[in-house]
Structure 1
Amino acid sequence: MNAATRSSARLAGRMAGLALLTLAGASAQAQISFTAAVDMALKNSPQVRMAESDVMHARAAIDEAIDVYIPTVVGATSGLGYAYGFPLGPPTIYSFTAQSLVFSYSQKDYVRSARSGLVAANFALKDVRSQVAEDAATTYISLDRAQRQRAALAEELGYAEHLQSIVQDRLDAGRDTKMELTRSRRTGVQLRLQLLQLDDEIANSADHLARLIGLPGNPLTTVSDSIPEVPHPSGSFVPAETPGVKAAFATAKSKYERAFGDDRYRFRPQFAFGAEYSRFSTFNNQYVKYYPSVSGLESNAVGFSVNVTIPLFDKSHEAKARESMAEAVHAQNDAIYHRDQAQEGQLKLRHSMAELSAKSDLASLDKELAEEQLEAILVQLQAPAVGGAAALTPKDEQNARIQERQRYVEMLDAEGQLRQTGINLLRQTGELEGWLKISAGSAAASSNSLASPSKP
């Protein structure tokens, strides 16, 4: 058995071992598709649940602002005791009182403020959902990219170890130098370091994704084919308002409405309704003794009233109105600031997408070129040397295989960066949820077409 045959046998053994390890690892892990991961993250996210509770809070605030017009009824009783001496009050057994606001200039503003608060809460919920979806999508893409890179690097390491064996055999035969052996050994160590780094990245990404979807501690693997194509921006740049920016402007509007209501408090009449019914006691007190003119005391008493209040001087409410207006101005300028920041971010992301797209194309071409070079070397290895040209050796083949795998890893890295930036841009423009819904629908339609038997 010559050196080349022994090297090929060792390579086949290493590749078989790597394949067995890969299969064993895959069997212990759970696969999850892209759309399923994003959907589970949205359902499991505590951030989304908090935002949903904020929406419920905003709805309750509207009801609270409107329900002041509905009479509040209170019942009370004091007829279980005994009164002696001078009466301290009407001898009430039980009573019911009802009060409600009839009209207030400020209350209309408070209702509008509460409704704007609900609009802001709904936009904030949409923004939080987009953030969680982006986190899940980019983590999934990062995990998929790292897992595919690891598989390629494992193959590359096998070729590097084979190369090291070939160089060692050539060194023993006096056909190579020790420097070449050191260089081949360095390549192997470099690849092992990259594998360790990828293992750390895979572990961190898988753990983060598992926590996002509510399955911590469960190792996950991705389905590469389930990742949809991320759209590239086209046409001229048109700034878009994100849900977060819309929520900020709605919050500012809510604060302005409240400030208007606080400012319209003074010098404006407020009308309130009041009603009372009381049941009096005639047997356990001396009320009639001290008030003989009411010896024929009726047991029932009913009263109605409309109260008119005109606030004339109230320094506390004046200060409150200035405080509310200052908060509204702050919120408005904060919304403008975030809108400008968001639009600048969108423009930068569009430029980054163009650059990353060119980088991805270049990496793809480099990978194709490495494949073609490998194919050419394999053909030349099978053909006899012509003329004075130096014949290629298995060492050249392994170097070409290492180069091809390295270009493939670089291509995966460029594609992953492009996809993650595209998803970030979709969130910045408020289009992420729409794209995810379309992708989920396409995935479901594809799954149904695969599941249904084809007609002859």
Structure 2
Amino acid sequence: MLVFGGTLRAQLSLQSAVDLALKNSPRVRVAQADVAKARAAWQEARDAYIPAVSTTAGYGQSTGAPLNVPIIFSISAQSLVFSFQQRDYVRAADEARESAQHSLNREQIQVTQDTTNTYVALDNAQARKAVITRELDLAERLVTVTSERIDAGVDARVELPKSRRTAVQIRLAALQLDDEIAFNARHLANLTGLPASAIRTDTHSIPELAPIRAQGEANESIADDEGISALAATARSKQHQAFGDRRYLLRPQVTLGANYSRVATTLSSYSDYYPRYQGTPGHPNSENALSFGLQFTIPLLDMAHRARARQSEADAEHASADVALQRGIFREGRAKLQNSALELQLRADLARDEQEIAQDQFQTLQVQLQAASGSVAGPQANPKDAINAELQERQRSYDLLQAKLQLQQVQVNLLQQDGGLSRWVQGTPLPASPGSVLAPGTSTPAVPGVSPQGTTPTPSNVAVPPSTQP
């Protein structure tokens, strides 16, 4: 393992990639810190009714007129007993805590979505790499065959630049695909914390997605996502805060106070100035002092607090309007995404049909070539026609893979908005709905001629009707 560790590549499943990304994401850690802060703020508001206990101690000598009672140490406790607005502040802190939790869920879902889309794109690009590698081989063979046919006087010389142009176009597409694979591998490595050179996707770990169906539910019944839920909780928090600020003036507040102190007069002139403090020889006074009581406060006039209440009301109104605005944008975007998914579904079906047609044409030319080599009567074709037909079949397979990738990513985005992405990644069945994009056991259209690992099997020799040369 130590010797060959530099060349080992681990197969990473989608579930493992998502788990690593959630643990490695700085965005998730920031959101977790915000949740901890919001929870602490809620506890602070709630614990105002719990007495705060403190102790002080000191020892020293003084002379002259005493400035205060010579206390050696004291223990004091103070707490809020009753307040009209404090209950609203506790509710506001509780809603803020809920908002932070929704924000954490949103960040986790977004990291899951980013990781899933990157993983699916990398896996799809690797499958397309196998297809375009075969295209490069065919393009080079096409150039060679065309040159031989020109030398034999069968084809015109203009056919050679056309063949070279096809080869250059495929080589350019292969370079662009290599850049796409490298980018997705680097991005997935940044998400998971693994080295890019050690990542190899596992196609079988990607759960199946069902074909898109028309959305049968009303737009108003679409549930809010975590982002909208976080905004709604923030708006409720600001409303409670504003209501508490409005109930500050002309309402009583009750606080509890208690204190125990130990007094020592030996190191000061306190007894000289207050000779009756020591009491009489028959009835000396105690050096222990204890106090306990309730304090009632009624704020009568506080213009600054009244202005602060108006500011809180404006913040609450702003937050409520922002929720309505973002909810409308979310529902419009989801409807547009649903329509795009239906369109991409049809494009994927069309690409699948075109690939099957091209494959049938290629198989027909293979049969014709075999017939020509065996001197069997019937329509015949030359090797150049067969190469062109296979090139077209490979290109249609490439187009189908691209169409599948676009459809998969839109379906993942729909699952993210529906709140079912995390369960889909883990392979948990989701309840069926009119707009569902998940149906276990139903897969997206497969790519004929391309295995799940991206290999290209040899088409079987099946006689089909003759086809035209591309």
- Do these two structures clear the TM 0.5 threshold for a shared fold by scoring above it? yes
Q: Return the letter of the residue paired with 1:254.
A: S
Instruction: Name the CA distance, whole Å, in 1 between partners of 2:341 and 2:88.
Output: 45
What is the aligned partner in structure 1 of residue 424 from structure 2? 435
Structure 1: state its 5+ residue gaps. Answer: 1-25, 447-456
What is the aligned partner in structure 1 of residue 244 from structure 2? 261
Instruction: Name the CA distance, whole Å, in 1 between partners of 2:404 and 2:132.
Output: 17
What is the aligned partner in structure 1 of residue 433 from structure 2? none
Contact 1:65/1:114 (<8 A) preserved: yes
- Structure holding more helix per residue: 1
Instruction: Name the CA distance, whole Å, in 1 between partners of 2:319 and 2:118.
Output: 33
Q: Taking structure 1 as reference, are residues 191 and 219 closer, same or farther at Cα in structure 2, changes over 3 Å only? A: farther
* Equivalent position to 2:141, from 141, 159, 162: 162
Instruction: Name the CA distance, whole Å, in 1 between partners of 2:379 and 2:360.
Output: 20
Instruction: Name the CA distance, whole Å, in 1 between partners of 2:160 and 2:408.
Output: 39
Displacement after TM superposition at 1:150 (Å): 1.3
Q: Return the letter of the residue paired with 2:424.
A: W
Instruction: Describe the superposition over 1:36-76 as per-residue Cα deviations: whole angstroms up to 9, x where unpaired.
Output: 21222122212112212222222111210111111111111
What is the aligned partner in structure 2 of residue 23 from structure 1? none
What is the aligned partner in structure 1 of residue 15 from structure 2? 35
What is the percentage of aligned positions where both structures have the same residue?
A: 46
DSSP 3-state at the match of 1:88: coil
Q: Return the letter of the residue paired with 1:327.
A: D
Q: Taking structure 1 as reference, are residues 36 and 323 closer, same or farther at Cα in structure 2, changes over 3 Å only? A: same
TM-score, normalised relative to structure 2:
0.85
Q: Return the letter of the residue paired with 1:240.
A: A
Displacement after TM superposition at 1:439 (Å): 4.4
Contact 1:346/1:429 (<8 A) preserved: no
Displacement after TM superposition at 1:250 (Å): 0.8
Instruction: Name the CA distance, whole Å, in 2 between partners of 1:157 and 1:184.
Output: 12
DSSP 3-state at the match of 2:358: helix
TM-score, normalised relative to structure 1:
0.87
DSSP 3-state at the match of 2:427: helix
What is the aligned partner in structure 2 of residue 16 from structure 1? none
* Equivalent position to 2:303, from 315, 331, 342: 315
Instruction: Name the CA distance, whole Å, in 2 between partners of 1:161 and 1:151.
Output: 16
Displacement after TM superposition at 1:295 (Å): 2.5
DSSP 3-state at the match of 1:267: coil
Instruction: Name the CA distance, whole Å, in 1 between partners of 2:206 and 2:56.
Output: 66
Q: Taking structure 1 as reference, are residues 60 and 234 closer, same or farther at Cα in structure 2, changes over 3 Å only? A: same
Q: Return the letter of the residue paired with 2:181.
A: I
What is the aligned partner in structure 2 of residue 277 from structure 1? 260
Q: Taking structure 1 as reference, are residues 233 and 99 closer, same or farther at Cα in structure 2, changes over 3 Å only? A: farther
Instruction: Describe the superposition over 1:344-400 as per-residue Cα deviations: whole angstroms up to 9, x where unpaired.
Output: 11101111111111110111111111111111000000113778x874111111111
Contact 1:113/1:255 (<8 A) preserved: yes
What is the aligned partner in structure 2 of residue 249 from structure 1? 232
Alignment of 1:35-434 (within 5 A): 35-78=15-58, 80-231=59-210, 232-233=212-213, 235-238=215-218, 239-296=222-279, 297-384=285-372, 391-434=380-423
DSSP 3-state at the match of 1:178: coil
Instruction: Name the CA distance, whole Å, in 2 between partners of 1:290 and 1:266.
Output: 44
Instruction: Name the CA distance, whole Å, in 2 between partners of 1:139 and 1:130.
Output: 14
Contact 2:262/2:289 (<8 A) preserved: yes
Instruction: Name the CA distance, whole Å, in 2 between partners of 1:322 and 1:235.
Output: 44
Instruction: Describe the superposition over 1:421-448 as per-residue Cα deviations: whole angstroms up to 9, x where unpaired.
Output: 000011122222232233499xxxx9xx
Displacement after TM superposition at 1:215 (Å): 1.3
Contact 2:206/2:425 (<8 A) preserved: no
Instruction: Describe the superposition over 1:54-113 as per-residue Cα deviations: whole angstroms up to 9, x where unpaired.
Output: 2222211121011111111111122x2101000000011111111110000000000111
Instruction: Name the CA distance, whole Å, in 2 between partners of 1:135 and 1:259.
Output: 38
Structure 2: state its 5+ residue gaps. Answer: 1-5, 280-284, 431-440, 442-470
Displacement after TM superposition at 1:179 (Å): 1.1
Instruction: Name the CA distance, whole Å, in 1 between partners of 2:349 and 2:26.
Output: 39
What is the aligned partner in structure 2 of residue 13 from structure 1? none
Instruction: Name the CA distance, whole Å, in 2 between partners of 1:140 and 1:146.
Output: 10
Instruction: Name the CA distance, whole Å, in 2 between partners of 1:198 and 1:27.
Output: 22
Query: Which one is further off, 210-219 or 369-378?
Result: 210-219
Instruction: Name the CA distance, whole Å, in 2 between partners of 1:429 and 1:308.
Output: 52
Query: Which one is further off, 210-219 or 423-432?
Result: 210-219
Q: Return the letter of the residue paired with 2:139.
A: A
Contact 1:119/1:250 (<8 A) preserved: yes
Contact 2:188/2:196 (<8 A) preserved: no
Q: Return the letter of the residue paired with 2:183.
A: N
